[in-house]
Amino acid sequence: MSVALRLESLDASLLQQLCGADNWVIHRVEAAFQVCFSGQPGAWQIEGDAAAAAAQAMRRLLKRLHDGKALAPVDVEGVLRDDAAGGDVVEAEDHDVMIAGRRKISGKTANQRHYLRQMQAHTLTLAVGPAGSGKTYLAVAAAVAAMNSNRVERIILTRPAVEAGERLGFLPGDMQQKVDPYLRPLYDAMADMLGVEKMNALLEQGRIEVAPLAYMRGRTLNDAFIILDEAQNTTREQMKMFLTRLGFGSKMVVTGDVTQVDLPRHQQSGLLHALRVLDRVGDIALCRLSSRDVVRHQLVEQIVNAYEDREGQPDHD
């Protein structure tokens, strides 16, 4: 199939941004849709079975530029995933954009936008998906946006301290310093949105609390946005304990990757159990993200797919 893509009256600056430095955007579109661009910039002939989809993706990328939005790699990946998924593609509307500290956050894919809306609409949201699909980052964004708008007074971030093959017991320091490596992804997301200085100030004021799951026992958490990350590594008892901490005026988000359970083989994942037990309970949303929602480097999606394809197959030396 061959499709002509003519972008009339496009000024040089927009065309340069659309192509990217050294044509990296064009090369990424070619790789994503297995097509080939030829001709002059802005007057391309696109060859390949998915030429029409590639042309649609280019028009959507151009629309982002016309709307004053960026074309960073993460933005390009989001557009390509939506187009490659097929069906009707819906751009993020203004009401899908969250002001999270110094960032304007919107989902890069349809599933991510659905996830953001579900967190706003429900008291408890369960989100499962692979690494890089935005589970943790978007949950932190929703928490920061809720605190910015005074819908909650504080943010509580927690995760189980389960080792993924490493032994952290020999690290120096007190208990908090020992568990900090487990909590680093949560710190990183928070610092990206608030800046390190403001994050540290809110930590000192107690408006942000980052703690291991064991610290949640015996508490009732009112007027808070509570995130449990890496929930696949909770036991059934830990998950029940956490969920029953919910207080008045609070929201909870539970995130995890059910393909990366690091518990001993005889222990069932509390997240897998909760997905079954809470299936019909009201005011609870279940969001499933997939490798199509991975908006890190494109190689991450290929790695996730390779591991999923290999799952259950015998290993050969």
CB 139 within 8 A of CB 145: no
Task: Return the pLDDT at 89.
Answer: 43
**Residue 263, pLDDT score:** 86
Tokens of 198: 């403001």
- Residue 165 has a pLDDT of 42
98 and 80 in a common domain = no
CATH number at residue 163: 3.40.50.300
What is the average per-residue pLDDT within 131-143? 90
The string of pLDDT tens digits covering residues 278-314 is 988 989 999 999 888 876 666 776 787 788 777 656 6
Mean pLDDT score, 156-180: 63
41: domain CATH number is 3.30.1370
pLDDT value, residue 3: 87
Same domain, 142 and 43: no
> Does 317 map to a domain?
no
Average pLDDT estimate for 141-150 = 91
The 3-class SS string of 15-28 reads HHHHHCHHHHHHHH
Q: Given 85, 112, 127, which residue is the final one in a domain?
A: 85
Has residue 14 been placed in a domain? yes
Task: Give me the number of domains the chain comprises.
Answer: 2
- Please check whether residues 116 and 190 belong to one and the same domain: yes
Q: Which of 78, 138, 74, 77 is nearest to 105 (CA)?
A: 138
Q: What is the pLDDT at residue 214?
A: 85
Per-residue confidence (pLDDT) for residue 169, from 0 to 100? 52
The residue from 85, 114, 148 where one domain ends is 85
Identify whether residues 122 and 81 lie together within a single domain: no
Position 167 pLDDT exceeds 50? no
- Domain end marker among 37, 57, 85: 85
pLDDT above 90 covers a percentage of the chain that reads 37
Asked whether residue 214 is assigned to any structural domain, the reply reads yes
Q: Say whether pLDDT at 215 is over 90.
A: no
The reported pLDDT for the residue numbered 172 is 58
pLDDT confidence bin for 166, thresholds 50/70/90: very low
Q: Are residues 75 and 114 in the same domain?
A: no
**Is position 38 within any domain?**
yes
- In the predicted model, what is the mean pLDDT of the chain? 83
DSSP label at 221?
B
- For residues 171 and 239, membership in a common domain is answered with yes
Q: Mind listing the pLDDT tens digit for each residue in 59-100?
A: 888 888 888 877 888 778 777 766 655 544 444 444 466 777
Give the C-alpha separation, 128 to 275, whole Å: 10
Q: Does residue 187 contact residue 239 with C-beta atoms inside 8 Å?
A: no
Same domain, 63 and 177: no
Maximal C-alpha separation, the chain: 67
- The predicted-structure confidence for 17-56, as pLDDT tens digits, reads as follows 899 888 899 998 998 888 999 998 888 999 999 888 899 8
Q: Looking at the structure, tell me whether residues 171 and 288 fall in a common domain.
A: yes
Shared-domain flag, residues 64 and 109: no
Cα–Cα distance list, 25 to 36, 89, 242 (Å): 13, 20, 44
Same domain, 51 and 127: no
Is there a domain that residue 315 lies in? no
Number of Cβ within a 10 Å radius of residue 182: 22
Mean pLDDT of 151-178: 68
- Lowest-confidence region among 66-70, 127-131, 257-261: 66-70
- Looking at the fold, whether 79 and 100 belong to one and the same domain comes out as no
Residue 298 is part of which domain span?
A: 94-310
In a domain, 202, yes or no: yes
Do 56 and 107 fall into the same domain?
A: no
In a domain, 162, yes or no: yes
Lowest mean pLDDT: which of 8-22, 67-81, 118-132? Answer: 67-81
The CA-based angle 71-76-79, given to 5 degrees, is: 120
Query: Looking at the domain assignment, is residue 56 inside a domain?
Result: yes
